[in-house]
Structure 1
Amino acid sequence: MSNNLENNDEIVDDYGQIKISDEVVGIIASLAATEIKGVAGMSGGITGGISEMLGRKNFSKGVKVEVKEKEVSISLYIIVEYGAKIPEVAWEVQESVKNTVETMTGLNVVEVNINIQGVNIEKEHKEE
């Protein structure tokens, strides 16, 4: 059986075609990002309000996906936990998202852009 990627996110094999929507890629990326220690959640980005942290039901929010032929570019808008080392968190998110999306979809992830939109300050820090 041969697997070939054709026409953006469409996989064609001996049995037919499989189409993966941009939203599915976004959901996969969001879940991979929020599993990383130091990530408080996804942000709505500019359109949803920078300080708005999205709930678990909005999995594809805070993610922008661009699929081109066999490649995909992903931009994530995240909120980090107070005290987290932002460069380390961003690097871990990039690695996790790239590996997870490539494994689950077969698409080649060419870039994962991380946009830090805010810092989640716990109640304890607010009271001090």
Structure 2
Amino acid sequence: MPLQLSTELGSIQVSDHCIAIIAGSAAMDCYGLVGMASRKQLKDGIAELLGRDNLTRGVEVRRENEKLHIDLYIMVSYGTKISEVAHNIQSKVKYVLNDVIGLQVEAVHIIVQDVRVLK
């Protein structure tokens, strides 16, 4: 169900897919993030690294009691402090969604699916 925004000039509808693309793109700009991970891992637990074309597969947009929640499934770089990377992603995604669309995000949940060693 699209998000409905009202202005003095009319109404604007923003799809969950659009919100997911913006959130995923904002997250990819953060240091320490290798990429987005698939929300649906294989049975053996291997996380699939998604390219820029599939950012939305690592993002879930939910509405709970009329409040927006974003779940990001990520892979981080080995040697980075996971808590700092996650905090930076949360801050950036909340800021960008507020700045670009004017959305107030209740929470950005980070789910670290994998740690990758960069060569």
Query: Which of the pair has more CA radius of gyration?
Result: 1
Q: Does 1:42 align with 2:36?
A: yes
Question: Match of 2:53, SS?
Answer: coil
Q: Aligned letter for 1:117?
A: Q
Q: Aligned letter for 1:11?
A: L
Deviates more, 1:67-76 or 1:86-95: 67-76
Aligned residues: 116
Give the corresponding residue for 1:87: 83
Give the corresponding residue for 1:117: 113
Q: Aligned letter for 1:98?
A: K
Superposition deviation, residue 67 in structure 1? 3.3
Q: Please give the root-mean-square deviation of Cα atoms over the aligned residues, in Å.
A: 1.9
Superposition deviation, residue 14 in structure 1? 2.7
Equivalent residue runs for 1:43-62 within 5 Å: 43-45=37-39, 47-49=40-42, 50-62=46-58
Deviates more, 1:108-117 or 1:59-68: 59-68
Question: Residue 2 of structure 2 contacts residue 16 of structure 2 at CA under 8 Å; is this kept in 1?
Answer: no
- Between the two proteins, what is the percent identity of the paired residues? 38
Change over 3 Å in CA distance of 1:103–1:68 after alignment to 2: farther
| TM-score of the pair, normalised by structure 2 | 0.88
Give the corresponding residue for 1:3: none
Unaligned runs of 5+ in 2: none
Unaligned runs of 5+ in 1: 1-6, 124-128
2:12 and 2:63 map into 1 onto residues whose CA distance is 15
